[in-house]
Structure 1
Amino acid sequence: MTSKMARGKTATQATALASGSVSTGLFMMFAAVMISPIIDIFAKLAITTVPAIEISAARFLIQSLAAVPFLIMRPHLFSMSWRSTGFHIVRGGILALSMISFVATLEFMEVADAIAIFFVEPIILTILSSIILKEAIGWRRYTACAVGFFGALLVIQPSFAEVGYVALLPVLSAFCIASFAILTRIGSQKEDPWSMQLQSGMWGFLFCALPMLFSDMLGMPGIAFTSADTTILLYLLGVGVSATLSGILGVYAYRAAPASMLAPLQYLEIVSATIFGWLVFNHLPDAIKWLGIAIIVASGLYIIWRERRFASKPVSNVETTPLTP
């Protein structure tokens, strides 16, 4: 009897600990998606003075520096080889292109609209996972992808009429992040998340910094390094710090709770982006864009639900932080 009571007590304690861990993970992911649009708010404030590539470089630099202390404390987690270096160079280049594309969009579009279009990323990732990783994707999820793209078009169409092809840059950014996630899935089986974050940030910074240094040689004076006043430096610092905070919270959220449970919370970013956009820039999406946002969110949640139901790996499940530009 005593043994049974002890086992029962132990099981109850384990359940309580698991429940507490999941609650912590949910809270951390909620905080991460609430902070994430602040990256774009600061970027939009800075883009009026400095080029998108410089804003992206500042973000990568600060994020990389934030990862250094963790790897100093655990140096065995950081390993490099020619093969892994080439892998991370590709990841860093893709991530840099995604960030630059998205930040460049913010010069012409509102934050909430750009993020709404960007959230076709889970849909793109579902398709790429089927093609590259050979994951089984049924007709229902393909249908959800098609519906999601229709929702994106409802957001893109009026934006396209206003700003032209710039409205497609968030789609390019989403495609890059989906590709980055595929590579992260492959690499995360062998490497530590902090090591991967440092190397992707380091190479992303170099992909931004080098074109700025050689802008005249490249015939692209528009991407040259621009000296910034104190206000712009604070905006750049805000981009980097908020990205780092959101990233760290995301890493630990995925350690504390199942990815399939956390993934739907990412769509709250559209809500927080809308709130911040309204508070800072006094902008709210119109009715057509709200309809498009609702369709994108619904299709994305359906994809996540299908994957969770059939116990396949969620489209947003990467070992490092989900990277919204």
Structure 2
Amino acid sequence: MAQSSRTSLGILLMVGFAVLAPAMDACAKLIGDGLAVGQIVTTRFIFQSAILIPIAAFYGWLHWPNGRETALHLARASLIIIATSFFFTALRYMPIADAIAIFFVEPFILTLLGSLLLGEQIGPRRYVACVIGFAGALLIIQPSFREVGFAACLPLVTALTFAFYMILTRQMATRMHPITLQGYTGIAALAIALPLLFAFEGSGFGPLDPIWPDQRQVILLVILGLIATLSHVFISFALSLAPASLIAPIQYLEIVSATILGYYIFNDLPDAMTFLGIFLIVGSGLFVFFRERHLERRPTPAP
């Protein structure tokens, strides 16, 4: 495939991810508090493992992980379990677009963690962009906090844990095929989540006490599991076909698709303050992106 065709396909796959991911969130919101959050999250990883591991085995991408790699898979799985659980919990109280907009402070957190943990250089302009992005998140959190309380802060926890998840992904993605990485993460997540569900069965602890789903909930769980798996396959291959610097801004389409789904399914429409917060977050994120591209294109000074 020609490079231009590969890039175009990568862009299309990233658009597909931005459209599908909020649909997964809509399924979780439709399930509501009828099922334990841990049960919904575990279902996602059941589908992820059941679909991706056979694909990786068929193409010969599997290998036996050593002790260090196993520990990294478990750490990565723990982070994504926490991130997903907190986000699905937030969706029980908040509009999808609001929760996703607050979550999008994650690139700023990742930028700061890259400086602290990986020694990446960050200029003053990007620090200012991060501050503006966080200010946008506060504009969304403030009215939401008055309505739903601390649940409005849950997407921030998701953003923080997902940023650490992405740092681990950076370190592991170069060593194995993305399908294999996602498949092993699914298995590691099940190794953590399933014992917790069995331990808390009948305990009355809402987040982890599993309940037998009815027919409607089963359908929503199946759709959620399929969408979650497909969307993450889309983003994995999108990153392998097109430069991350090119397709990263496309992820902001999630806010658009989340707003549309929230309006047509739940009759939720962001207010003026929320739209202002979204504008600040997206604008700051795009500034960081274009600043990165500008720095990448600058010629290296001669020694």
TM-score bracket relative to the smaller structure: over 0.9
Q: Deviations over 1:44-68 (max 9, x none)?
A: 0112310111110011110111111
The separation in 2 between residues aligned to 1:34 and 1:83, in whole angstroms, is 35
**Residue of structure 2 in register with 1:67 after alignment:** 52
CA contact (8 A) 1:215 1:221 kept: no
Change (3 A) 1:171 1:213: same
CA contact (8 A) 2:53 2:184 kept: no
Asked if 1:299 is matched to 2:276, the reply is no
Shift of 1:217: 9.0
Change (3 A) 1:104 1:263: same
**Residue of structure 1 in register with 2:140 after alignment:** 155
* Structure 2 residue matching 1:233: 3-state secondary structure: helix
Shift of 1:243: 0.9
CA contact (8 A) 1:130 1:136 kept: yes
What do you get for the CA RMSD once the two structures are aligned? Answer: 1.7
1:137-152 → structure 2 map (5 Å cutoff) = 137-152=122-137
**Residue of structure 2 in register with 1:206 after alignment:** 191
The separation in 1 between residues aligned to 2:112 and 2:160, in whole angstroms, is 11
**Residue of structure 1 in register with 2:246 after alignment:** 261
The separation in 2 between residues aligned to 1:121 and 1:133, in whole angstroms, is 16
**Residue of structure 1 in register with 2:301 after alignment:** none
Residue type matched to 2:275 in 1? W
**Residue of structure 2 in register with 1:318 after alignment:** none
Asked if 1:28 is matched to 2:13, the reply is yes
The separation in 2 between residues aligned to 1:125 and 1:22, in whole angstroms, is 25
Q: Judge which range, 86-95 or 204-213, deviates more.
A: 204-213
Asked if 1:186 is matched to 2:171, the reply is yes
CA contact (8 A) 1:151 1:295 kept: yes
Residue type matched to 1:60 in 2? F
Residue type matched to 1:19 in 2? S
1:165-180 → structure 2 map (5 Å cutoff) = 165-180=150-165
The separation in 1 between residues aligned to 2:134 and 2:211, in whole angstroms, is 37
Asked if 1:289 is matched to 2:299, the reply is no
The separation in 2 between residues aligned to 1:110 and 1:223, in whole angstroms, is 23
Residue type matched to 2:231 in 1? S
Pick the aligned partner of 1:234 from 192, 206, 219: 219
Shift of 1:71: 1.6
Pick the aligned partner of 1:97 from 82, 86, 89: 82
Tell me the percent identity. 39
Q: Judge which range, 76-85 or 283-292, deviates more.
A: 76-85
The separation in 2 between residues aligned to 1:218 and 1:132, in whole angstroms, is 39
The separation in 2 between residues aligned to 1:267 and 1:132, in whole angstroms, is 26
Q: Judge which range, 60-69 or 114-123, deviates more.
A: 60-69
Q: Deviations over 1:222-255 (max 9, x none)?
A: 5211100111011111111111111111122112
Asked if 1:278 is matched to 2:263, the reply is yes
The structure number with the bigger radius of gyration is 1
The separation in 2 between residues aligned to 1:76 and 1:125, in whole angstroms, is 29
CA contact (8 A) 1:71 1:78 kept: no
**Residue of structure 1 in register with 2:34 after alignment:** 49
Shift of 1:205: 2.5
Asked if 1:108 is matched to 2:93, the reply is yes
4+ residue runs over 4 A deviation: 216-219
* Structure 2 residue matching 1:180: 3-state secondary structure: helix
Query: Number of paired residues?
Result: 297
TM-score (norm 2): 0.94
CA contact (8 A) 1:96 1:205 kept: no
Shift of 1:185: 0.6
Pick the aligned partner of 1:164 from 135, 149, 170: 149
Q: Judge which range, 205-214 or 120-129, deviates more.
A: 205-214
Change (3 A) 1:243 1:221: closer
CA contact (8 A) 2:201 2:210 kept: no
Q: Deviations over 1:8-58 (max 9, x none)?
A: xxxxxx9xx222221111111111101110010000011231011111001
